[in-house]
Structure 1
């Protein structure tokens, strides 16, 4: 049946042409954007995954930048430690020369003094972006020895985010500490044992009573302390009118605790060292002892008195050593050599630790870079358009579009042929 009102062929041709045009538009969008899934309407699931992973990759890029800053800071510290080691070796050489008879020690000390100043210059200059791990002030408000660098960014299967870090304990590599209780490599020493024992210069007396006389040491064992070769604490202890000098040095600590490096930690350790020092000074352990709270008389006999006076610290660190004095003997200089050698060992150990951290940062930086590339590849697999496939589709759809236009033209012209019937 031929109808002027309804042209079924034209309707079919038009629908086919519209479908072809829609497909052609989609293909052209993919070619122009490069994405198979450019918007959520293209594929909501893939678009959501890709958007999240792109965001995470941006965070990883920030992590990589942070690792770069961390690497520069660590490199700066390593350079400082390595330079300090070289200067310490020179000081050791000068001290060795000074042990010989006939050497002008004043002149040698002039050279050593310049090297000591160079060590301070190295420590003060080893700063990157405001961070200095070699010259510190552990007594400053908010100071923390542990320095952290962001190392990784992760998202678990539940979507929870986490940040990993690399931590550096700067207390083990610091060359100078301006705090009064410094434990730094070049100017740390016995001052720390004062606060650990609660001793201060002056006199503490306990008069007669019916209970044990006690010299209170309220902070006994609150912190750990390491005494170097030339570090010592001494005080005069008077028991019922008899005064004896008590000395605590590295040898005392090692003998009391079986240590090799002069480290005391914990209340028990401090009490053991104190008791060993008291016995070495000639005090009878049945009459006076170190126990909880401080130094006590034993038995609590009425009339016992205790007093401490002349509290003194010796801290012959690398920073303070001086061989120019008339009283400095060859034996004392040999102790100085051991002090410097001990500092060289600590600096070397610190540089070794920093070197291991440098290696870890390098590996983590490489890993983060590779991980970012892998994520980019995965996201591309989800949403990128296959340009070869799309170009082939484009050619086919353009041909279909031309045929569709031709078919619609033919369908529309069929109505014109009906006019001939009415001539």
Structure 2
């Protein structure tokens, strides 16, 4: 049936044209924007996912900037630490030279002071964007990642420990802000002296008693061996044990062993004394016919008479606990005649660091007659700080010094180069101490550079990962929302043809009412 009121063909053609135009508009939008999902209307689910991923990409770009800043900061700190290590090695060369007898000590001290000032300048200048990693003790965090989960988004950090290379002295804690650490330290010996309890260090050496006894006859001998050097006496007619002791004492003194002397007493007794500050002396005795024994040791009341014994070094030993942890702010102090010399531990330090730091503090005080040495006791598995007193040059009446070792938490840490300001080579004794202490400082500089290098490596690895992750996320977003331009081009051409055909179809449909008019002519 034909009607002039309803043109069904035109309606169909018009609907087709609208559909073609809608698809054509969509394809043209894809071509102009390059996206198949440009707005939430295109595909709400895909659009929302892509926008979350795009925000993460922007976040990771910020993280990449943070990591670049961290890497640059660590580069400055590492290079500064390496430079400081080099200057300390130069300083060591001067200190080694100062160990000689006929050397220009004042000139060497001037050179050392110049190197010290250069190190101080590096510590002050080694900052990047206002951040100095070789001054202070607080950890520094660099943003390293975004972590997305059902609970939300959180950030991750790479924590870098500062390596304090300053020369500042620490501040001991007190009862107001800390607790006693006296239980962690004591003077070791036959009768240990607990931390906080006064005692003395004496210039008197330790000794061993060798006793000659029994009946000797022709052909019999008595021998005494000291650190492998043996003296021997053959009995002669009429000799008593006192004669044998006197002869052996004279022979021992004739050996010229550093710090060792012998004196004969009544009853065949030989007292062998060692004034060696940091070395034990081995003593052995033997005899044929009569007897020769090491009957007593002044530093070991429990010694049982026998063929041998050991004269302990003169120095008193401060023993540090191998069970206690060392926390930042833990301070240990040695009072000498009422004046305290202290070291306060920094973050991550050990009892070895405490022992070496306290040694530096004592050496910096330049107390006449006091010398120190740090050693690890293999028997007790503990670190020890040995403190010796050799006397006062112009006052023989001073035979000892009063000392007290103590500890307290809650202090302010000493700088990593603590004691550098007081390195002194103007005397042979101070030059020897300086050589021991410069080794500790070089070790700290090496450790600092290694820590910074390790942290920089972690940051560089993370930066590379973040870059790769950002690229992967960007590619994923493209897969979700980018238009296939080849497909869009083909569809555009097809739709343009369909549009032209649709226009022709609509034109034909619109001519049908005109055809109906012909029936009434």
Residue 260 (structure 1) shift: 4.5
Partner-residue secondary structure (3-state), 2:422: coil
How far, CA to CA, are the matches of 1:84 and 1:159 in structure 2? Answer: 47
Q: Encode CA deviations 1:145-167: one digit per residue, 9 max, x unaligned.
A: 211111111102x1521211111
2:143 to 150, 175, 182: 150
Equivalent positions of 1:181-260 (< 5 A) are 181=171, 196=331, 226-228=354-356, 230-231=359-360, 251=374, 258-260=381-383
Residue 197 (structure 1) shift: 5.5
| Residue aligning to 2:517 | 419
Equivalent positions of 1:338-377 (< 5 A) are 338-377=436-475
Mapped pair 1:174 → 2:164: yes
Instruction: Say if 2:60 and 2:470, in contact at 8 Å, map to a contact too.
Output: yes
How far, CA to CA, are the matches of 2:71 and 2:465 in structure 1? Answer: 15
Distance 1:152 1:105, change over 3 A: same
Q: Encode CA deviations 1:21-45: one digit per residue, 9 max, x unaligned.
A: 0110111111111111111111111
Distance 1:16 1:316, change over 3 A: closer
2:486 to 388, 405, 417: 388
Residue 122 (structure 1) shift: 0.9
Distance 1:68 1:292, change over 3 A: closer
Partner-residue secondary structure (3-state), 2:382: coil
Partner-residue secondary structure (3-state), 1:334: helix
Residue 232 (structure 1) shift: 5.6
Distance 1:33 1:319, change over 3 A: same
Instruction: Say if 2:167 and 2:420, in contact at 8 Å, map to a contact too.
Output: no
How far, CA to CA, are the matches of 2:384 and 2:43 in structure 1? Answer: 67
Distance 1:332 1:351, change over 3 A: same
1:409 to 479, 484, 507: 507
| Residue aligning to 1:334 | 432
How far, CA to CA, are the matches of 1:52 and 1:291 in structure 2? Answer: 60
| Residue aligning to 1:160 | 152
Q: Encode CA deviations 1:117-161: one digit per residue, 9 max, x unaligned.
A: 01101111101111112233xxxxxxx5211111111102x1521
Instruction: Say if 1:135 and 1:174, in contact at 8 Å, map to a contact too.
Output: yes
Partner-residue secondary structure (3-state), 1:228: helix
| Residue aligning to 1:317 | 419
Structure 2 unaligned regions, length at least 5: 173-326, 364-369, 386-399, 409-416
Distance 1:147 1:65, change over 3 A: same
Partner-residue secondary structure (3-state), 1:135: coil
How far, CA to CA, are the matches of 1:341 and 1:91 in structure 2? Answer: 10
How far, CA to CA, are the matches of 1:46 and 1:58 in structure 2? Answer: 18
More strand by share: 2
| Residue aligning to 2:12 | 12
Residue 259 (structure 1) shift: 3.3
Partner-residue secondary structure (3-state), 1:164: strand
Distance 1:92 1:200, change over 3 A: closer
Residue 19 (structure 1) shift: 0.6
How far, CA to CA, are the matches of 2:107 and 2:74 in structure 1? Answer: 37
Distance 1:159 1:23, change over 3 A: farther
How far, CA to CA, are the matches of 1:105 and 1:320 in structure 2? Answer: 15
Partner-residue secondary structure (3-state), 1:149: strand
Backbone CA RMSD of aligned residues: 3.5
Instruction: Say if 2:166 and 2:418, in contact at 8 Å, map to a contact too.
Output: no
Partner-residue secondary structure (3-state), 1:165: strand
Instruction: Say if 1:232 and 1:249, in contact at 8 Å, map to a contact too.
Output: no
Partner-residue secondary structure (3-state), 1:176: coil
